[in-house]
Amino acid sequence: MGCRTQSVRYLIPRTVQQMIRFSCMGQTPYTDSRILPDLGVGAKRPPHGGVFSRIASNPLSHQRVRALTGSQAIRPKAGTNSQRICKQLTDDLPLSLVPTQFPCCIPPQNPLSLGAMQTTFTIQTHGPGLYEFTPEVTNWASGTGLLTLFVRHTSCSLLIQENADPEVQTDLQNFFHRLVPPTTDPSMSYLTHTYEGPDDMPAHIKAAMLPTSLSIPITDGRLALGTWQGIYLFEHRNAPHSRQIAAHLA
């Protein structure tokens, strides 16, 4: 909302900050005697509360004051109602005029409105092993920012590993199988969570040891991966699964 005169330019932030202060405190900004003298509008207290019933010698028009303050805020209370009043006070104002010491008055920012992107990748697995999905991520990513990948399961992991020699993936799978064998192995007899299959609890242990989220820089739509790096889902269960990986690029 623009200001035509210097007096109006000074009046708006001073007036609104006082009204917001009392709204956030759960008090009545429009009929409080401590505020009326500071408004400089010659306002008369209405008999039943509400907005000012008469505005004299005022550089703002009655309509602009109503638009500035809202017309239905009478006696705000603490909590949700106060936040509603604050919203009425600040909806038509530039953010620079809203006092930052009152968090309830700062409009929330939607990350997606600031250029963020989100999607979900679905990976079909067929037993333990590493499943690369670098091409899917590369085809989706654009712009410049930081990509976050998050697997939405408790028995698989995410890894960045070499994608040149398949033996690396085989060796990783064999190593973790020896490190955390199935519950049928005598060395795992101390486990108690065994009713979902001999591979279930070992899968949870592996997922606790390995990453479930990754952060990858994106520059001009290109993933900042090394020459031999690939993005993998590391499946720890024996049965086929449909795995979902949430992606957020901002």
Q: Are 159 and 213 in contact (CB under 8 A)?
A: no
Displacement of CA 80 from its chain's centroid (Å): 21
Note if the pTM is more than 0.75: no
Q: Output the pLDDT for position 115.
A: 76
Tokens coding 52: 């000012």
CATH class of the structural domain 113-249 = mainly beta
SS3 of 8, please?
A: helix
Higher pLDDT, 47 or 225: 225
What residue type is assigned to position 212 of the chain? T
For the stretch 177-190, pLDDT in tens is 999 999 999 999 99
For the stretch 212-236, pLDDT in tens is 999 999 999 999 999 999 999 999 9
SS3 of 223, please?
A: strand
- The per-residue pLDDT of the chain, averaged, comes to 73
